[in-house]
Amino acid sequence: GGDDEAAGAGGEASSIRLGYFPNITHTPALIGVNKGYFQTALGTTKLETKTFNAGPAAIEALFSGAIDATYIGPNPAINGWAQSKGTGLKIIAGSTSGGAGLVVKEGITSPADLKGKKIATPQLGNTQDVALRAWLKENGLNADQQGGGDVSVLPQDNATALQAFAQGAIDGAWVPEPNLSRLVLESKGKVLVNEKDLWPSGLFVTTHLIVTQEFLKKNPATVKKLLQGHLEALDYIEKNNAEAQTAANAQLKALSGKPLKDDVLAASFKNLTFTADPVASSLYTSAKHAEDVGLLKPVDLKGIYDLGPLNEQLKAAGKPEVSDAAA
């Protein structure tokens, strides 16, 4: 693993343990594993993958030294950064952008219609939750953390939210893909807000890749190779979109037994953008919003990114470099 004894010459580890979720927003990881890009790039370094169902468990595993790197959403990354006082992890690349929004019941057409309604978000204080609250505030509606206010915001896990929506127990949900598409396709929900439209360039971070600082320091060469595999996976998705869908779904099936339905898969892919750009500005803005609504203690995110290795790889491949600047 990424233990001391594994740190070889030239900053190469004998193995790397990579985490990701069996989730469509983690497509680059799914492809990279499915197509073997990571292992090819890593060469003699052994790749061990672990899958998680939720961010907190991935962070727990990362901090406990059970994994070295993981794909993860922006929220757990910020929390992990804050809890470890900026010593636990670094974001080294973007992976996925977009693919979230507010789906509501038939009959709700404007923000004003949401008054007195119940809207689910995946978890208090996560990106979608913050996005919803910020959006509500912009539209003159308030919602408190205990589920009260003009709009009742209810943190619920995705499965519960989907069921509750299907049965009419909630009026809407601000969720990421593939649940967005499933609410639309399976439960006849309507997209009231596509979060894409709220961001300047239409891009906002959904998934990125993080490593422990310790691993990054000890094994920079391995990290570079990991990034190489990551970029190759992204390349493949860009060039072979249809095959990428199939491959991602095959990996999902291998991990979870059941693939996504084709229409959901296609709709989700349409909403998602796979890019190495971590869209740093959206992370900062989102964190700012979270602080504004009191869901995050003020946290200094300076230094959370280490895009050096990524940019080296991008430069080598002749692609534009990315930036961790706020705007």
Partner 1 sequence: MPIKYPSARAGLDGASGDTTAPVADKPGVNPESAEVAGLDALELGPRRDKGALGKRVWRSAWPKFLAIAIVLLIWQIAVWSEWKPIYVLPSPATVFTDLGNVITTGDFWDGVRVTMTRAFTGFLLAVVIGTVIGALVSQFAPLRAAIGSLITGLQTMPSIMWFPLAILLFQLSESAILFVVVLGAAPSVANGLISGIDYVPRTWLRVGQVLGMRGFAKYRHLILPASLPSFISGLKQGWAFSWRSLMAGELLVIVPGALSIGVRMQQARDLSDSSLVICYIIVVLVIGILIDVLFNAADNQLRKRWGLLS
**Nearest approach, Cβ of 181 to partner 1 (angstroms)?**
12
**Nearest approach, Cβ of 182 to partner 1 (angstroms)?**
7
- In the bound state with partner 1, the residue whose beta carbon lies nearer, of 24 and 41, is 24
**Nearest approach, Cβ of 256 to partner 1 (angstroms)?**
5
Question: Residue holding tokens 């030239």?
Answer: 10
- In the bound state with partner 1, the residue whose beta carbon lies nearer, of 15 and 323, is 15
Q: What are phi and psi of 204, to 5 degrees?
A: -155, 150
Dihedral sign, Cα of residue 56, residue 18, residue 308, residue 98: negative
Retrieve residue 168's tokens.
């009419």
- In the bound state with partner 1, the residue whose beta carbon lies nearer, of 170 and 314, is 170
Residue ranges of alpha helices (H) inside 35-117 are: 37-42, 55-63, 74-83
**Nearest approach, Cβ of 100 to partner 1 (angstroms)?**
17
**Nearest approach, Cβ of 164 to partner 1 (angstroms)?**
6
Rounded-to-integer distance, Cα 142 and Cα 152, Å? 9
**Nearest approach, Cβ of 128 to partner 1 (angstroms)?**
13
- In the bound state with partner 1, the residue whose beta carbon lies nearer, of 87 and 241, is 87
Rounded-to-integer distance, Cα 96 and Cα 25, Å? 6
- In the bound state with partner 1, the residue whose beta carbon lies nearer, of 126 and 245, is 126
Closest CA to 233 of 18, 28, 96: 28
Closest CA to 77 of 64, 96, 58: 58
Q: What are phi and psi of 95, to 5 degrees?
A: -140, -50
Burial class (CB in 10 A: 0-12, 13-18, 19+), 130: buried
Could you tell me which residues are beta bridge partners of residue 176?
100
- In the bound state with partner 1, the residue whose beta carbon lies nearer, of 66 and 221, is 66
Rounded-to-integer distance, Cα 321 and Cα 94, Å? 12
**Nearest approach, Cβ of 63 to partner 1 (angstroms)?**
4
- In the bound state with partner 1, the residue whose beta carbon lies nearer, of 213 and 323, is 213
Retrieve residue 245's tokens.
């869908």
Point out which residues bind partner 1 (CB under 8 A): 22, 49-51, 53, 55-57, 59-61, 63-67, 76, 79-80, 83-85, 87-88, 118, 123-126, 144-148, 152, 154-160, 162-164, 166-170, 182, 186, 254-258
**Nearest approach, Cβ of 139 to partner 1 (angstroms)?**
20
Q: Which helix (H) or strand (E) holds 231?
A: helix 220-239
Rounded-to-integer distance, Cα 242 and Cα 294, Å? 42
